[in-house]
Structures are given as C-alpha cells and as structure tokens.
C-alpha cells in the first residue's frame, strides 16, 4: 500500500518538471504542488455511492466521482483554473458535484463540506468554476442546466443580493461586507453572461448580466480612487479610512478589495483616470505603511498580523483578495513592474520551513498562486480563457497536460538578478502580448524567454498587448 501510494504521488508531482532555481525554490515549488493536491475530498465509495445533501444515497456513473470540501471563495481564483490545465476530468467531476447539490438544494454550493453546506464566505463562485470550465472546452455536464443553476443561485443568494439586484449596490448601513459582496457578485454576473453568450441565449438575457457586472462602478469613490461603502441614501460612508479592515470589506480593507474587478480592469483604469493614475495607485499599495484599523473586529486578526510581518506596505498576500493585484500592471502597459513584485513575493513570502507560508493556504489557493507565478503566468479572470503574464522563476519548466501535450518554458538566463523579460518567443515567433490563451497552451507550446537584469520598457505596452477586459470586448 505504501509503495502504491508513493508511486501515485510521484506520478502526480511529476506532472510539472522544473530545472534550475535554488534548492529552496525547488522545495517551495513541489511543496506547493503537494499542498494543491490534498483537497478537495472524494466523498463517494468504491461502488460510487455517496451521501447527498438531502441525506439520501446517490451513485456516480462509472469512472466518475463526487467531491466536497470546496473552498470556492479561495480556490476559484487559481486552484480551479490550474486543474483545467492538469486534470480536465477532475474539473468535470467537480462541476457535476456542484450541479448535483443544485438539484437537491436549489442553489449551487458556496462552501460545501462533506454532505452539507457551510455557507462560509461571500459570492457564489461555483459559477466561476463552471464558466471557466465551459469556456475552456471542458464538457461532461449539461450547459443549459448549469446556466439555470447559475441564474437561480444569483437570484437566491441572501448576502445582500436583494439590494444588489434592485439598487445596483448593497447599502453599507444595512449589510456588513457590502463592498466585497458587490464586487464579487458583479464578477459572478459576468460569468453568467459569458456562459449565456456561449449558449446563444437571448440578447436581453445576456445584456442583463452584462449591465449587472458593471455594478462595481457604484462603490468607486473618485476622491480617494478606491472602493468605498455606500449608504442607502447614496452617500459614501464617512469617515473613511482605506486602512480599516472589515465593516464594508471581508477580511481586508479598501486597499485590498479595490482591485477585485477581475473581468473589467480597463473599466477600473478608466474610473481612476487612466493608466498613469492606475499604476500610481498600484504602486501605492507597496508605498503606504503596513498600518491598519482593526476597530471593526475589536482585535488584530491573524490576516492583519501577517500583513505587518510581510512588511510590503498594505499588500496582504496572506489572504486571497489581493493575490491577483500585481498582475494588473500588465493592463496598464507596465508589465515589468509585475515581474519585479512577483519575484519579491516569491522570494520573501514563501520559504521551505515550518513558518514558510505567509498566511492562509486555504485548500491549495495560496500554493496554486505560487505554482502559476513560478511558471510565469496567472489566471486573473477565470472565464476569460486567458492567463496574464508574469515572469518564470526557473530556467526550465515542463507541464505535461492531460491530453499528453506539453507546455515547455525555457528561460536559460534566469537568475535572481535577471527577473525581467527582455523578449519572448512562442513556438518560434516573437510574442509581445501580456497574456496567453488557454487553447494555445492546450495545443502544446514552447515559450522561450530572454531574461535580463533591466526591464524592457518597450515590450507589452500597446493596447493590443493588454489582457481581456469587458470594456474592450466589442472594440
């Protein structure tokens, strides 16, 4: 049994092979790959039977499985997209598991554990997992039924959805975590829109969710250039401190959540007054001191303490809301700043020791961030079919995809000093975009990076090089 288990783990971990880097970096990488493989949990027995959410007994089809322990608020960001590269059958099983729960409860899971629903955290991010899977060509489930489940879940969610649907925002004087809920509802609505487009639904249905996905605009404060709680009468919460944790935000503050417009970063850039102002605000996250206001909680919660220990301004990598933020430099034509800060995070906030993680692992999400970032790209907006560029950590990495094809990343000049992409070739052709298409990777790809110790400020600076944004969809 031990030998069989060891063989299975070796097979799983060898799905990504790396060369170069320090011994510590290699340990970090494979520790992350191990962490990302521990959950979710398969809940069916060998005969396919499992306990359903109504306490009845279900049975999977041959070769299929049911899963639980889905920390969706965390894992929709990078863990689930990573599985779309490494194990598409696994992804289909997870989607079917979510739809099975919908059949019983009338709502997609939020944070299922064993045969029950904890209702933990915010949003209803099963819709992200489903939309991302469908956009990437993963099938094995009924798209129409999935869209029905997504729409029903959007209407039923109780964490301020009634106000959100009626008013476009959630009054901060009525609901806690109002801004965080609104931002994540808006992204989830965009996911519904994307699947509706794919299924050729009526235009009025598509437009409904397109417009709702723009609701993030209602809580953007032009004065501070940050997201801010808004009261029922339309006034912003006052006094306002971007350092205040909780209240209108979930386990974070305005510095962390302002960037949660995954699907329309260009729209956020426009609100901030353009690319220059946007980049200045991104820079500010690292420039401001690691101070905080914990008055809402009445104590210094561990996420706050972890941010202080990191000492990277108000960048709080130990919790999930801000983990995609560094990649947003790519949307404003300064990808070299993303390349700099990503290496800083990988170098300083991940170590091969008992205290080597900077905060919450949360079912593999923080590890999935490291795996993607070490490879050189990241899924900022699941459902878009794109990955946003960073820069590779190792001299060589080989991903063996489930279809047997490989993605090979070569960066022979990669060192601690040579963290910037000077030039890039994809399948032998010059490549200047700040994004990679999922479908191109799944066809097999070779990416040759020419790394440098100085940034190339002429690469990735044109509008056509920027990743997907809703605002640019019909341009």
Closest CA to 39 of 368, 274, 409: 368
pLDDT at 467: 98
Task: State what percent of residues in the chain have pLDDT above 70.
Answer: 100
Measure the CA–CA gap between 137 and 179, rounded to whole angstroms: 33
pLDDT at 156: 83
Residue-wise pLDDT tens digits, 62-71: 999 999 999 9
* Residues in the chain where the model's pLDDT stays below 50: none
Closest CA to 376 of 385, 364, 388: 388
pLDDT at 4: 87
Find the length of the chain: 475
144-181: b or e for each residue (b if 16 or more CB lie within 10 Å)?
eebbebbbebbeebebbbebbeeebbbbbeebbbbbbb
192, 209 Cβ separation under 8 angstroms: yes
pLDDT at 475: 67
Q: Which two tokens stand for residue 191?
A: 């996911």
pLDDT at 229: 98
Residue-wise pLDDT tens digits, 44-57: 999 999 999 999 99
């Amino acid at each position: 049994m031990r030998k069989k288990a060891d063989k299975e783990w070796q097979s799983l971990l060898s799905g990504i092979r790396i060369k170069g880097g320090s011994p510590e970096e290699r340990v970090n990488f494979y520790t992350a790959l191990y962490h990302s493989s521990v959950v979710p949990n398969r809940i069916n027995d060998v005969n396919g039977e499992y306990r359903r959410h109504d306490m009845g007994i279900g049975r999977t089809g041959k070769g299929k499985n049911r899963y639980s322990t889905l920390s969706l608020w965390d894992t929709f960001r990078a863990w689930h997209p990573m599985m779309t590269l490494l194990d598409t059958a696994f992804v289909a099983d997870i989607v079917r598991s979510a739809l099975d729960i919908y059949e019983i409860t009338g709502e997609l899971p939020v944070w299922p554990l064993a045969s029950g629903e904890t209702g933990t955290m915010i949003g209803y991010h099963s819709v992200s997992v489903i939309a991302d899977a469908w956009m990437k060509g993963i099938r094995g489930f009924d798209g129409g039924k999935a869209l029905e489940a997504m729409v029903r879940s959007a209407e039923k969610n109780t964490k301020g959805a009634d106000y959100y649907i009626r008013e476009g925002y959630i009054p901060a004087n009525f609901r806690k975590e109002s801004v965080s809920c609104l931002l994540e509802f808006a992204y989830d609505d965009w996911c519904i829109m994307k699947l509706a487009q794919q299924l050729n639904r009526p235009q009025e249905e598509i437009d409904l969710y397109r417009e709702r996905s723009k609701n993030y605009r209602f809580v953007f404060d032009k004065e501070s250039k940050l997201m801010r709680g808004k009261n029922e009468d339309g006034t912003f919460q006052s006094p306002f401190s971007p350092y205040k944790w909780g209240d209108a935000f979930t386990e974070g503050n305005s510095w962390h959540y302002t960037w949660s417009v995954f699907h329309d970063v260009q729209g956020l850039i426009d609100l901030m007054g353009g690319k220059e102002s946007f980049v200045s605000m991104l820079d500010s996250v690292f420039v401001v001191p690691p101070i905080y206001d914990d008055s809402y909680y009445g104590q210094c919660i561990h996420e706050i303490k972890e941010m202080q220990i990191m000492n990277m301004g108000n960048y709080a990598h130990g919790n999930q809301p801000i983990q995609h933020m560094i990649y947003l430099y790519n949307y404003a034509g300064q990808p070299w700043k993303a390349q700099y800060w990503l290496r800083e995070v990988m170098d300083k906030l991940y170590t091969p020791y008992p205290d080597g993680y900077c905060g919450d692992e949360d079912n593999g999400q923080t590890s999935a961030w490291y795996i993607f970032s070490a490879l050189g790209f990241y899924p900022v907006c699941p459902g878009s079919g794109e990955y946003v560029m960073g820069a590779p950590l190792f001299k060589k990495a080989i991903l063996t995809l489930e279809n047997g094809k490989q993605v090979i990343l070569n960066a022979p000049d990669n060192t601690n000093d040579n963290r910037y992409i000077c030039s890039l070739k994809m399948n032998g052709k010059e490549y200047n975009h700040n994004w990679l298409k999922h479908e191109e990777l799944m066809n097999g790809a070779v990416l040759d990076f020419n790394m440098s110790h100085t940034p190339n400020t002429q690469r990735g600076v044109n509008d056509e090089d920027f990743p997907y944004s809703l605002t640019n969809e019909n341009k």
